[in-house]
DNA sequence: ATAATATACCTCAGCTTCTTATGTATGTAA
DNA sequence: TTACATACATAAGAAGCTGAGGTATATTAT
């Protein structure tokens, strides 16, 4: 019963969005950034993150670049052109989903707030 | 590539919320209600719905009641007391998740809108 | 008549995505 | 020297979904 049982499927969107803003990030950095942005509410586990990154790379949405920093290897990810297109698409999908959820959960609410 | 790849985990919340408002619903009715409320955006498949209903019943959150309507059998579901408590809990969880997502997706947004 | 669609329940194989545990390796603080 | 932080990775198992299939009745269209 972890805190986030709802992330299913939105991890990819989170990754793509963060890379749209940051140009270049490595895995561990992503986990920390998400923790920071959500005040610890959402914790990306490494077991979920790394396979997700590998999959996005295999799909051609991300490219990698290895860097040495203090005897430590960092694998930086950045968006490809396909990846850049996919961000908008994924964000629109998420927005549509949230709005639909609002209509179910919050009936009698006309204006589209948030997002 | 279905329209709703994001429902994962929120189906239970949808069911509980609809039953909070409607007192008593049967499976097929739920699929139609969701389709109606979301203008066809979210389509609950029966292969997802029925197992979810059975699970919620097994957990003691729902009770069932069979009714005959025009030679057709309907299985009505309604919330138990535990189910009623769980609705608030699940809704709060969903709200927290959506707000967290907003902080990631929509940085530089202070007020908590929607939901 | 009959074919198609709508209503109404159900199960199950297979897929994706997650959790949890485990492994490797380095740097720093107690 | 023990623990924690940094940094990568894999893999078993669980959970939740899709899509296909099955049963049955009622209605609508051809």
CB < 8 Å from B in window 16-75 of A:
17-18, 21, 34, 37-38, 41-42
With CB atoms and an 8 Å threshold, state whether A93 touches B41.
no
Q: Where are the alpha helices (DSSP H) in chain A?
A: 11-22, 27-37, 46-58, 81-105
Average pLDDT, integer, range B40-61: 97
Question: What are the structure tokens assigned to A10, written together?
Answer: 């939105």
Q: How do strand B62-69 and strand A72-79 relate by DSSP bridges?
A: unpaired
Q: Is the distance between the Cβ of B69 and the closest atom of strand D smaller than 7 Å?
A: no
Give the H or E element holding residue B73.
strand B72-79
Task: Look at residue B9 in the predicted model and tell me its pLDDT.
Answer: 85
pLDDT score of A94 more than 80: yes
Chain A interface disruption, residue of B4, B32, B101, most A CBs within 10 A: B101
Average pLDDT, integer, range A62-71: 95
Residue A105 · residue B94 · CB < 8 Å: yes
Query: In the structure, what pLDDT confidence band is assigned to residue B96 with cuts at 50, 70 and 90?
Result: very high
Closest residue to C7 (CA, C1′): B28
| CA nearest to B104, candidates A48, A112, A87, A3 | A87
Rounded distance, CA B24 to CA B43, Å? 20
Protein-to-nucleotide distance from the CA of B38 to the C1' of C10, whole angstroms: 26
Query: In the structure, what pLDDT confidence band is assigned to residue A115 with cuts at 50, 70 and 90?
Result: very low
Rounded distance, CA B7 to CA A97, Å? 8
Residue, of A85 and B114, whose pLDDT is higher: A85
Q: Residue B35: phi, psi to the nearest 5?
A: -60, -40
Nearest CA in chain A to B42: A100
Rounded distance, CA A115 to CA A113, Å? 7
Q: What pTM was estimated for this model as a whole?
A: 0.90
Q: Is the distance between the Cβ of B69 and the closest atom of strand C smaller than 7 Å?
A: yes
Q: What rounded mean pLDDT belongs to chain B?
A: 90
At residue A1's C-alpha, the angle toward residues B78 and A35, to 5°, is 125
Task: Look at residue B64 in the predicted model and tell me its pLDDT.
Answer: 98
With CB atoms and an 8 Å threshold, state whether B13 touches A98.
no
């Amino acid at each position: 019963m972890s805190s986030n049982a709802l992330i299913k499927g939105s991890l990819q969107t989170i990754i793509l969005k963060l890379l749209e803003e940051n140009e270049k990030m490595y895995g561990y950095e992503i986990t920390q950034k998400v923790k920071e942005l959500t005040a610890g509410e959402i914790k990306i586990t490494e077991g979920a993150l790394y396979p997700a990154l590998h999959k996005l790379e295999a799909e051609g949405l991300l490219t990698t670049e290895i860097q040495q920093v203090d005897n430590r290897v960092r694998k930086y990810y950045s968006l490809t052109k396909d990846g850049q297109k996919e961000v908008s698409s994924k964000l629109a999908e998420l927005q549509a989903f949230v709005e639909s959820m609002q209509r179910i959960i919050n009936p009698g609410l006309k204006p589209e707030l948030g997002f």
